[in-house]
Amino acid sequence: MRDYSEIPFNSIEWHRGDPVERGRMIRDIYGSRVLAVKSRKEVEELLGKPEKKQRVEGREVWLYRVELPNRSELKYLPVSFEGYRKTFPGKVKDGAISILVEK
Protein backbone atom coordinates (compact mmCIF):
# COMPACT_ATOMS: atom_id res chain seq x y z
CA MET A 1 0.00 0.00 0.00
CA ARG A 2 1.31 3.43 -0.98
CA ASP A 3 2.02 6.13 1.56
CA TYR A 4 -0.23 9.14 0.92
CA SER A 5 0.82 11.11 3.99
CA GLU A 6 1.64 14.77 3.42
CA ILE A 7 5.24 15.85 2.93
CA PRO A 8 6.87 19.25 2.39
CA PHE A 9 7.37 20.41 -1.17
CA ASN A 10 10.80 19.55 -2.55
CA SER A 11 11.53 20.44 -6.16
CA ILE A 12 14.02 17.61 -6.65
CA GLU A 13 11.58 15.03 -5.28
CA TRP A 14 8.76 16.55 -7.34
CA HIS A 15 10.80 16.07 -10.53
CA ARG A 16 11.70 12.49 -9.56
CA GLY A 17 8.30 11.62 -8.16
CA ASP A 18 5.30 9.95 -9.69
CA PRO A 19 1.77 11.40 -9.34
CA VAL A 20 1.39 9.91 -5.85
CA GLU A 21 4.59 11.52 -4.57
CA ARG A 22 3.55 14.81 -6.14
CA GLY A 23 0.12 14.52 -4.54
CA ARG A 24 1.74 14.22 -1.13
CA MET A 25 3.23 17.71 -1.64
CA ILE A 26 0.05 19.49 -2.73
CA ARG A 27 -0.95 20.94 0.64
CA ASP A 28 2.53 22.39 1.19
CA ILE A 29 2.58 23.93 -2.30
CA TYR A 30 -0.55 25.89 -1.39
CA GLY A 31 0.37 26.55 2.24
CA SER A 32 3.91 27.75 1.61
CA ARG A 33 2.93 29.74 -1.49
CA VAL A 34 6.08 28.43 -3.16
CA LEU A 35 4.65 29.28 -6.59
CA ALA A 36 3.49 32.80 -5.76
CA VAL A 37 4.72 35.55 -8.10
CA LYS A 38 6.88 33.20 -10.14
CA SER A 39 7.58 33.56 -13.84
CA ARG A 40 6.84 30.70 -16.23
CA LYS A 41 10.57 29.93 -16.31
CA GLU A 42 10.75 29.76 -12.50
CA VAL A 43 7.70 27.49 -12.34
CA GLU A 44 9.22 25.22 -14.95
CA GLU A 45 12.45 25.06 -12.94
CA LEU A 46 10.49 24.12 -9.79
CA LEU A 47 7.95 21.72 -11.30
CA GLY A 48 9.28 20.80 -14.72
CA LYS A 49 7.32 20.87 -17.96
CA PRO A 50 3.57 20.45 -17.47
CA GLU A 51 1.75 17.41 -18.81
CA LYS A 52 -0.79 19.73 -20.45
CA LYS A 53 -1.34 23.40 -21.18
CA GLN A 54 -4.76 25.01 -21.59
CA ARG A 55 -6.50 28.36 -21.58
CA VAL A 56 -9.15 28.70 -18.87
CA GLU A 57 -11.07 31.92 -18.24
CA GLY A 58 -8.54 33.78 -20.41
CA ARG A 59 -5.52 32.53 -18.46
CA GLU A 60 -2.81 30.14 -19.52
CA VAL A 61 -2.97 27.09 -17.24
CA TRP A 62 -0.30 24.44 -16.85
CA LEU A 63 -1.49 21.05 -15.57
CA TYR A 64 0.68 18.71 -13.52
CA ARG A 65 -0.61 15.22 -12.86
CA VAL A 66 -1.07 14.29 -9.21
CA GLU A 67 -2.84 11.50 -7.35
CA LEU A 68 -4.47 11.82 -3.96
CA PRO A 69 -5.74 9.05 -1.67
CA ASN A 70 -9.14 7.58 -2.53
CA ARG A 71 -9.09 9.26 -5.93
CA SER A 72 -9.03 6.91 -8.90
CA GLU A 73 -9.72 9.53 -11.59
CA LEU A 74 -6.92 11.37 -13.33
CA LYS A 75 -6.31 14.70 -11.56
CA TYR A 76 -4.03 17.67 -12.09
CA LEU A 77 -2.48 20.50 -10.12
CA PRO A 78 -3.32 23.61 -12.16
CA VAL A 79 -0.94 26.56 -12.20
CA SER A 80 -2.33 29.59 -13.99
CA PHE A 81 -0.51 32.63 -15.30
CA GLU A 82 -1.60 36.19 -15.83
CA GLY A 83 1.09 38.55 -17.02
CA TYR A 84 4.77 37.98 -16.34
CA ARG A 85 4.87 37.41 -12.56
CA LYS A 86 1.30 36.69 -11.59
CA THR A 87 1.23 32.98 -10.87
CA PHE A 88 -1.72 31.29 -9.20
CA PRO A 89 -1.59 27.64 -8.20
CA GLY A 90 -5.15 26.51 -8.80
CA LYS A 91 -6.62 29.94 -9.36
CA VAL A 92 -8.68 30.03 -12.52
CA LYS A 93 -11.63 32.38 -12.00
CA ASP A 94 -12.18 35.64 -10.09
CA GLY A 95 -9.92 34.72 -7.20
CA ALA A 96 -11.59 31.33 -6.66
CA ILE A 97 -9.12 28.53 -6.05
CA SER A 98 -9.76 25.17 -7.62
CA ILE A 99 -7.14 22.86 -6.14
CA LEU A 100 -7.59 20.00 -8.59
CA VAL A 101 -9.14 19.86 -12.02
CA GLU A 102 -10.23 16.97 -14.18
CA LYS A 103 -9.56 16.80 -17.88
Residues 14-71: pLDDT tens digits? Answer: 999 999 999 999 889 988 989 888 889 999 999 999 999 988 777 788 989 998 877 6
User: Rounded to two decimals, what is the model's pTM?
Assistant: 0.81
> Count of CB atoms within 10 A of residue 84's CB?
9
Cα(86)–Cα(66) distance, integer angstroms: 23
Dihedral sign from CA coordinates of 38, 34, 36, 29? positive
56, 82, 55, 78: which is closest to 66 by C-alpha? 78
Instruction: Name the residue with higher pLDDT: 99 or 4.
Output: 4
98 contacts: CB under 8 Å, gap ≥ 6:
78, 90, 91, 92
